[in-house]
Amino acid sequence: SADIVSSTSLSVDETIRLKQRIEALFALLKTKYPDFYGRQIKGDYIECVMQNVSNVFRIALVIKSCIKSFPITENRKAKSFQTYGIRMAIGIGNMRIVDTEQGIWDGESIYMSGRSLEGMNALNKGTLSVCTS
């Protein structure tokens, strides 16, 4: 799970371009890692799942780099976005349901990462959290 930091400080055009950039990245990751699935929900919230945990840190770094390198117009409100880009939490555990066609993802790892992400506060916006079962 991941949350884009200060996404509301982006202009409408920047928000649309960032969403398109993330979707293009997910498509690229899917071709390189066939067991990868990524989606954007709730505007600036990202969820990803994959079977092969040996690649999760590489993919997390790629996603973070993609977002941090996104060019935006300089403004005071966007400073947190420029500094942190994204908060991420990796949950390593079982998934009970991964039905990408229906959009249903249910399981221990998605819950762990979501809770960990919610527990991050302003002091650790730029961190990466890892939780295992």
Nearest to 126 by CA among 83, 63, 74: 83
Asked if 91 and 47 touch (Cβ cutoff 8 Å), the reply is no
pLDDT of 24 reads 98
Nearest to 131 by CA among 44, 65, 56, 67: 56
Q: How many CB atoms lie within 10 A of CB 17?
A: 15
Structure tokens at 53: 């945990």
Q: How far is CA 2 from CA 94, 96, 102, 116, in A?
A: 18, 20, 21, 10
State pLDDT tens for residues 97-106. Answer: 777 788 778 8
Residue 64's φ and ψ, nearest 5 degrees, are -60, -45
Q: Please tell me the total count of domains within the chain.
A: 1
State pLDDT tens for residues 74-101. Answer: 777 777 887 788 899 999 888 877 777 8
State pLDDT tens for residues 4-48. Answer: 988 888 999 999 999 999 999 999 999 999 999 999 998 889 999
Distance CA 113, CA 93 (A): 10
State pLDDT tens for residues 39-57. Answer: 999 888 999 999 888 999 9
Structure tokens at 46: 């990202």
Distance CA 22, CA 27 (A): 9
- Range(s) of the domain holding residue 64: 2-132
pLDDT of 56 reads 93
